[in-house]
Structure 1
C-alpha cells in the first residue's frame, strides 16, 4: 500500500508540473505552493461504497466541493455514483476499466 500511495503522489506531482507549465509558471510552482517544511501536503482517504440493493432509499453523500489542490479519485468499474457539478447541473462520471483514476482540481487550486 505504501508503494501504491507513493506512485499516486508521483502522479499528482507530475500533474502539478504540467498544470504549472500550462499556466506559464515555473514547473515546480504548484508543488511549492502546496508544500510545507516537510514536503507536499498529502492526504489519503479510502472509502468503499458497495452496490446498494435499494438506491431509491439512499441519498448518498451530501453535495460538497473538494478543498484541496489535486484530487485523485480511484473508481472501480462496477459501482457508479461519482458526479461533478458543471454549468449548473450534475454530470455523472461513468465507471471505467480503462481510466480508473479521475483527476479533480480542488477549491485551493481553482483560486
Structure 2
C-alpha cells in the first residue's frame, strides 16, 4: 500500500507533507505534488499534514483514479525534500472542486 496525492492539491501545493516525509518520496510539478509509490513506506505521516486534505491511502476510493497519475509524474518530475513557498493564491484554490483539467504536466522549476 502507498499514499496518493489527489485533485485537492492542484493549484494549492502547500507542501506541508514534504516536511514530514521520512523517505523523501514527494515529487513536484508546476502546480501539484505526487508521491512515488515505489518509495512510499506507508507510514501515513503526510496525510494529516495536508491543509487541502489531498492525500489518501491507495485503498481509499478517492485515490483510485490518482494512483496512476502519481506513478507517472513521480518518474518525470524532480524530487522535493523541503517545503517551498506555496502559490500566493493557494488558499483561494484549497476547497474548489473539479480542478483536474488545471493539472499542469510541467515539472516544478526552482
Both proteins in one fold, TM over 0.5: no
- TM bin (shorter chain): under 0.3
Higher strand share: 1
| TM-score normalised to structure 2 length | 0.25
**Highest relative contact order (Cα 8 Å, sep 6+), 1 or 2?**
2
Flag the structure with larger Rg: 1
